[in-house]
Amino acid sequence: MSLVSASAGISQFESPAAEYKALKSLSLDDLIVGERKSSTYFARAQGDSMTEVGIYDGDLLVIDRSSTPHHGDVVVATHEGLFVVKLLDLHHRRLISANDKYAPVPLNSTSLVEGVVVQSIRCHRPLNP
């Protein structure tokens, strides 16, 4: 798999399409999901509780159900019947927001970790509904 680097600056340059002929195709599915196809799903982040770990409202989350959740992982869990994205604190059995204005949520018998957030994708334009 080959990647083409691109500068964010503006300058005169040859058409990038000239290099594409020599490159193999790049599949975002292979790059983002890889071998985890059957256990991976996507969700859209809502709210500002995870901004300190770089997850913002509208970001696309890549969640792997087959990954074993570890202390400190960003996870999708159910809490009181709702899906939440939080940091997993196994030492104190709670879910923590990455924004200090939200209190930790204790894990209880109805809480369930649904998967580990393995990647997030920043959307610079809103996704189609």
| 39 in active site | no
Catalytic residue among 25, 27, 49, 66: 49
Catalytic residue among 2, 21, 66, 86: 86
Residue 42: count other Cβ atoms within 10 Å of its Cβ.
13
CA 50 from chain centre, in angstroms, equals 11
Residue 71: count other Cβ atoms within 10 Å of its Cβ.
10
Cα distance between the two ends of the chain: 32
| 49 in active site | yes
For the annotated catalytic residues, the residue numbers are: 49, 86
